[in-house]
Amino acid sequence: MKHPESIDATPLERLVQPYLDDELAPEEVVAFERRLDDDPGLRDLVHEQAEVRDALRSLPRDAAPPSLRARILLELDAVDREPTVVPLSRRLARRSGALLRGALVMIPASAAALALFFLARQEPPAEAPAQALVAPLDAETPTRLVELDARPIPVQLTPAGRGDQRINLVGLEVADPEQGPQRRWTARAMYEAGPGGPRILDQQRRAPGLAPQGERQLYRGTAFHWSRSRSGAPVVQFLVGDTLHELSWVGQTASARPDLLLELGHQLVRAEPR
């Protein structure tokens, strides 16, 4: 245990986790909080780390496999060790992007909020044309999606006339923030309309000034824009904050209907972290 006078000689970022975990002695807490009063950057760091910890601890006990939770906490600890000259939000984005890419990851239902939480924290690209109309992309099957096929995440979706049909989140990919300007999307998710059913691709682009393209339509109080891809399949675009979502059927033709895309979009607007 460190003596209070050693606080000044210790890199402050190394004390953030012990401070949040109540591992510092009372006199060390007093010394650390005195530094918080004088350092706005340190206060922001503690506040954001506390938000991440609260998000993790709010999950039910069986919300995620222990290995996944341990990996997340290790990544957060690595963020603390990175140089302070790198903005915290950029460090979190880089770490969360690496966390959600790669090999097979099995995430149970309640961990969906954690995934969306990380997506929402990514910084938007700095350069974007003001009010740029975004042409729809043809739906494709992503090859780098992290498959979530162990326990698909159900979106509570019961459109009129479709009985108990639900949409399951079965894949997720976050773009590498370092390659953001070279990508037309920030993140993308894959949904499945019922077990083994047709799939819906949600491509997300986050940047100020983006505007959806297509015919404007109000659905359950939310404005959507729908059009058709080059193959004739319906495409639905909508904004949530600075994030443009584009929903499209994978491998479907002009016979595919847009109503399920609109309902999924409505549910995503309701569930989007604020």
Q: What is the predicted pLDDT for the residue at 153?
A: 42
Q: Give the CA distances from residue 216 to residues 204, 219, 223, 225, in Å, rounded to whole numbers and listed in that order.
A: 19, 10, 7, 4
Q: Return the residue matching tokens 């691709």.
A: 201
DSSP state letter for 101: S
Q: What is the predicted pLDDT for the residue at 236?
A: 94
Helix (H) or strand (E) holding 256: none
pTM over the 0.85 mark: no
Q: What is the predicted pLDDT for the residue at 139?
A: 41
Sign of CA dihedral 55, 58, 59, 65: positive
Q: What is the predicted pLDDT for the residue at 64?
A: 54
SS3 assignment, position 239? strand
Q: What is the predicted pLDDT for the residue at 65?
A: 58
Residue 233: which residues within 8 A CB-CB, separation 6 or more? 139, 248, 249, 252, 253, 254, 256
**What are the structure tokens assigned to 148, written together?**
């979530």
Dist CA 25 CA 216 (whole Å): 59
Sign of CA dihedral 51, 53, 57, 63: positive
Q: What share of the chain is helix, strand, coil (3-state, %, to 5)?
A: 40, 20, 40
- Residue among 172, 2, 98 nearest 90 (CA): 98
Q: What is the predicted pLDDT for the residue at 58?
A: 59
Per-residue pLDDT of the chain (274 residues; tens, 9 = 90+): 444 444 554 577 788 888 877 788 888 888 888 888 888 888 888 888 877 766 666 555 555 555 565 666 666 665 555 554 445 445 444 444 444 433 223 333 334 444 444 444 444 444 444 334 444 444 444 445 555 443 344 444 444 444 445 778 888 887 665 554 556 778 888 888 877 788 888 888 887 788 888 988 888 778 899 898 887 888 999 988 888 899 998 876 656 777 888 888 888 887 655 4
